[in-house]
A and B are shown apart, each in its own frame.
Chain A
Amino acid sequence: MKKFGKQGKKETPPISTASLPDIVFMLLFFFMVTTTMREVTLKVRQTLPHATELTKLEKKSLVSYIYVGVPHAQYQRVYGNEPRIQLNDQFAEVRDIVDYIVVERQARDEAEVPMMVTSLKIDEYTKMQIVQDIKQELRRASALHINYSARKRVENL
């Protein structure tokens, strides 16, 4: 063990920090790429249904979202455990949808309004009653282009 004895006397060289910026940049890029910006915090529980005939939502800026589902546990005391509608950051009633669509439209360029899509993110276990009410409201607001949000089903052959 002479070899090790010799080594102990030497001073350890400092760890090179030249590559630190690279590592930091790598992490930065990684997080920039993977985080999907979500403007709203979900207050309702959602298991999206699965489907095969999917189309991607092309222009994210032209999409307005309507969330439906059972409120999370901390909101159940106030909002009950029946499926509720969430618009932006708040729970809403069916009658608020028309106003929501109008506000969403005003935020967009006039030329882009006809291309707007409403994405319905609805929990699988919701009853159709509430979905039907939402559809009626959307027709009233003439926001006719809708997209039932769903996940890709993997075919098990």
Chain B
Amino acid sequence: MTWETFLWTTLGAFLTLCTFSFLYKDNPFYKFAEHLVVGVSAGYFALVLYHQILIPNVFDKIFDGEWWYIIPALLGIMMWTRFSRKYSWISRWPIALYMGIASGMAVPREMHARVIEQMHSAMINIIDMNNIMGNSFFDTASGIAKLIVFIGTLSALFYFFFSKEHKGFFKGISQFGIWILMIGFGASFGYTVMGRISLFVQRIQVMRDWTVVAWADEASGAFAVFWIITFGVFAIWAVFEIRKYLRSKRSTA
């Protein structure tokens, strides 16, 4: 590994430790990492917008003689008038145009993809006797799964239907609806936990790779020094915090 790569990796490891230090409590290391991420992201995004959008899609087009690209560019500039109290009304024109186009584009497509298609799949062929058991117990395309989805959808929707009092038989449906909703939330929560642990796992993998490189036989001795300094900073901070905690415990006792 080259010096340049190692230093960048070390910076990544240092920022990882800075971020994790927040799990104990808010501290200057975390604040530094937080501000750095926000600043770097904003700066990077500004450059990306300039090089990937303004140059090829606006400037190059206009200089190539496609002068009508001035119109969207002007509409974009009009948005900036929001910063002036006197002229902020000008920004309403491009916003209105944008909203109109976006709504016209989105409403029919969203309706089709997220309502009609979903209703279709939930209602059509709900009793699929040809594939009643599917390929496995958890086969989401099996006949039983389709039936469960249909009954579950109706019950969950009924829970939010307040024109009929939830009593007797209807109370049962609405209770079943709650269970279906809870199972749905549980599945989402489970996946979320998996997602969060995955992030932590990836950072452990990166720290492992960094440690292996720093202590490799063929690596420069300075790599190990950087490794020790990075962990040393947090070790000193941890000792300092533990002492502070013990002192406060003693004083309350």
Question: Are these two chains actual partners, yes or no?
Answer: no
